[in-house]
Homo-oligomer: A and B are copies of this chain.
Amino acid sequence: MREGDLTWLIGGPQGGGINVSAETFAKYAARTGLRVFANIEYHSNIMGEHSYYRVRASREQRHSVLDQVNVVVALDEETLIGRKHAHFTSHRGHVAEVESGGAVVFDTATKFNPETHERKDVVWVGLSMMDLLREALREFGREGDANRLRVMTNTVALGASVFVIGGDIGGLAEIYTEEFTGRRAQIGEMNARAAAIGYEAAQQALGGRAPYDLKSMTVGASLGAKRPMMLKGYASCGMAKLKAGLHIQTYYPISPATDESVFLESLQRDQNVLVVQCEDEISSIQMAIGAANAGARAATSTSGPGFALMVEGIGYASITEVSGPVIFLWQRGGPSTGLPTREEQGDLLFALHPAQGDFPHIVVAPGDDQEIYEDSFEVFNWVDRYHMPAVVLLDKYLQSSYKTVDELTLDNPVIDRGPRFNPADLQNGHGDGNGHRGGYEDGYLAFAMTESGVTPRAIPGQEGGIFWATSDEHNPRGHITEDATNRIEMMDKRMGKLELAAREIPSARKIGVYGPADADLTIVGWGSVKGSVLDAMDVLAKEGVKVNFVQIRLMRPFPVQEVTDALAGAKRLVLVECNYSGQLGGLVREMTGIHIPQYVVKYDGRPFSEEELVEALRQAISTDDARIHVSHLSA
A interface with B by C-beta (< 8 Å):
43-44, 86-91, 303-305, 307-309, 311-312, 315-316, 318-320, 331, 333-342, 344, 346-347, 349-350, 352-359, 438-440, 470-473, 475-477, 479-488, 491, 495, 579-581, 583, 586-587, 589-591, 593, 595, 603-606, 629, 631-635
How many identical subunits does the complex contain? 2
- For A479, the closest partner residue in chain B by CB is B87
Please determine whether B87 and A473 come into contact, CB atoms closer than 8 angstroms.
no
Please determine whether A336 and B350 come into contact, CB atoms closer than 8 angstroms.
no
- For A580, the closest partner residue in chain B by CB is B358
- For A484, the closest partner residue in chain B by CB is B604
- For A604, the closest partner residue in chain B by CB is B484
- Residues of chain B lying within 8 A (CB to CB) of residue A633: 484-485
Please determine whether A335 and B350 come into contact, CB atoms closer than 8 angstroms.
no
Please determine whether B336 and A346 come into contact, CB atoms closer than 8 angstroms.
no
Given contacts A580-B491, A604-B488, contact A86 B356 (CB under 8 A): no
A580 to B579, CA, bound (A): 30
Please determine whether B358 and A336 come into contact, CB atoms closer than 8 angstroms.
no
Please determine whether B305 and A334 come into contact, CB atoms closer than 8 angstroms.
no
Please determine whether A339 and B482 come into contact, CB atoms closer than 8 angstroms.
yes
Please determine whether A483 and B86 come into contact, CB atoms closer than 8 angstroms.
yes
CB distance from A261 to the nearest CB of B (A): 19
Please determine whether B473 and A356 come into contact, CB atoms closer than 8 angstroms.
no
- For A303, the closest partner residue in chain B by CB is B356
Q: Quick one: which of B89, B340, B482 contacts A605, CB cutoff 8 A? A: B482
Q: Quick one: which of B90, B353, B475 contacts A353, CB cutoff 8 A? A: B353
A71 to B606, CA, bound (A): 68
A346 to B485, CA, bound (A): 18
Q: Quick one: which of B334, B471, B583 contacts A338, CB cutoff 8 A? A: B471
Please determine whether B304 and A308 come into contact, CB atoms closer than 8 angstroms.
no
Most B CB within 10 A of own CB, among A346, A471, A487, A605: A487
A440 to B88, CA, bound (A): 9
What would 12 A/B residue contacts be, using CB atoms closer than 8 Å? A304-B356, A309-B312, A315-B336, A334-B356, A334-B358, A344-B357, A350-B355, A358-B603, A484-B604, A484-B635, A487-B605, A488-B629
Please determine whether B316 and A472 come into contact, CB atoms closer than 8 angstroms.
no
- For A587, the closest partner residue in chain B by CB is B590
Most B CB within 10 A of own CB, among A319, A355, A470, A485: A355
- Residues of chain B lying within 8 A (CB to CB) of residue A89: 439, 481, 483, 485-486
- Residues of chain B lying within 8 A (CB to CB) of residue A88: 438-439, 475-476, 481, 483, 485-486
CB distance from A582 to the nearest CB of B (A): 9
13 new A-B contacts, CB < 8 A, other than A87-B476, A89-B485, A487-B603, are: A88-B485, A89-B483, A90-B484, A308-B315, A315-B335, A333-B473, A336-B471, A338-B472, A347-B357, A484-B631, A485-B631, A488-B604, A495-B581
- Residues of chain B lying within 8 A (CB to CB) of residue A482: 43-44, 339, 341-342, 605
Please determine whether A356 and B339 come into contact, CB atoms closer than 8 angstroms.
no
Please determine whether A472 and B590 come into contact, CB atoms closer than 8 angstroms.
no
- For A334, the closest partner residue in chain B by CB is B357
Please determine whether B491 and A603 come into contact, CB atoms closer than 8 angstroms.
yes
A389 to B592, CA, bound (A): 31
Please determine whether B87 and A439 come into contact, CB atoms closer than 8 angstroms.
yes
- Residues of chain B lying within 8 A (CB to CB) of residue A479: 87
A504 to B471, CA, bound (A): 42
Q: Quick one: which of B91, B477, B488 contacts A87, CB cutoff 8 A? A: B477
Q: Quick one: which of B44, B346, B472 contacts A357, CB cutoff 8 A? A: B346
- For A477, the closest partner residue in chain B by CB is B87
- Residues of chain B lying within 8 A (CB to CB) of residue A635: 484
Q: Quick one: which of B312, B481, B587 contacts A336, CB cutoff 8 A? A: B312
- Residues of chain B lying within 8 A (CB to CB) of residue A356: 303-305, 307-308, 331, 334-336, 338, 346-347, 350
A311 to B334, CA, bound (A): 13
- Residues of chain B lying within 8 A (CB to CB) of residue A43: 482
- Residues of chain B lying within 8 A (CB to CB) of residue A331: 356
A476 to B631, CA, bound (A): 19
CB distance from A635 to the nearest CB of B (A): 8
Please determine whether A336 and B353 come into contact, CB atoms closer than 8 angstroms.
no
A580 to B316, CA, bound (A): 17
- Residues of chain B lying within 8 A (CB to CB) of residue A342: 482
A488 to B603, CA, bound (A): 7
A350 to B308, CA, bound (A): 12
A489 to B487, CA, bound (A): 48
CB distance from A446 to the nearest CB of B (A): 14
CB distance from A361 to the nearest CB of B (A): 10
- Residues of chain B lying within 8 A (CB to CB) of residue A357: 304, 333-336, 338, 344, 346-347, 350, 579
Given contacts A312-B309, A357-B304, A484-B606, contact A440 B337 (CB under 8 A): no
6 smallest beta-carbon distances between A and B, as pairs: A334-B357, A304-B356, A335-B357, A87-B439, A90-B485, A590-B590
- Residues of chain B lying within 8 A (CB to CB) of residue A349: 352-353
A524 to B134, CA, bound (A): 78
CB distance from A257 to the nearest CB of B (A): 12
Please determine whether B315 and A334 come into contact, CB atoms closer than 8 angstroms.
yes
CB distance from A507 to the nearest CB of B (A): 23
CB distance from A473 to the nearest CB of B (A): 5
- Residues of chain B lying within 8 A (CB to CB) of residue A604: 484-485, 487-488
A480 to B495, CA, bound (A): 43
